[in-house]
């Protein structure tokens, strides 16, 4: 049996670099994951901090397995190691992309394909 569920996370506070220092759930899973195979679907994995937090939280819920898939990956920006990123669409440079659901200030999200935004 397959089940699709959603979480919503938000960062709050800031560290010395201006980045998010803490992560909290805005919306948690509706169904239990104990004993289930869980695949986390991410749009972009960058530093890995959010995915690391989510994986730590989910592991406490005793899934049978836990893996992640990401559309865009920037492994050279990782601040944490040992993320379960098993499937990667594209490894991309440290550039800003819009379209295909990615936006800049709520603009360009509706473009039918991915575009590199140049300054």
| pLDDT at position 57 | 97
| pLDDT at position 26 | 95
Cα 53 → chain centroid? 10
pLDDT one-digit tens code per residue, 87-112: 999 999 989 999 999 999 999 999 99
| pLDDT at position 20 | 47
Beta bridge partners of 14: none
Return d(Cα 100, Cα 30) in angstroms, integer. 27
Which mean pLDDT values do the consecutive 10-residue runs of the chain (119 residues) have? 93 58 91 97 94 96 98 94 94 93 94 90
Beta bridge partners of 115: 98
Active site residue 15: no
Q: Which of 46, 94, 103, 113 is catalytic?
A: 46
20 contacts 46 by C-beta, under 8 angstroms: no
| pLDDT at position 119 | 72
- Give domain limits for the chain: 8-117
Q: Which two tokens stand for residue 31?
A: 């169904």
Beta bridge partners of 111: none
Architecture of domain 8-117: 3-Layer(aba) Sandwich (3.40)
32 contacts 61 by C-beta, under 8 angstroms: yes
45 contacts 73 by C-beta, under 8 angstroms: yes
The continuous run of DSSP H or E covering 58 comes out as: helix 49-59
């Amino acid at each position: 049996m397959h089940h699709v569920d959603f979480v919503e996370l938000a960062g709050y506070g800031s560290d010395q670099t201006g980045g998010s220092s803490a992560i909290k759930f805005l919306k948690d899973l509706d169904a239990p994951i104990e004993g289930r195979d869980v695949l986390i679907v991410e749009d972009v994995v960058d530093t890995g901090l959010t995915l690391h937090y989510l994986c730590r939280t989910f592991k406490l819920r005793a899934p049978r397995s836990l893996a992640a898939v990401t559309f865009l990956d920037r492994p050279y920006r990782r601040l944490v190691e040992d993320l379960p990123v098993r499937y990667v669409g594209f490894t991309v440079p440290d550039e800003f992309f819009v379209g295909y659901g990615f936006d800049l200030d709520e603009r360009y999200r509706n473009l039918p394909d991915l575009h590199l935004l140049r300054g």
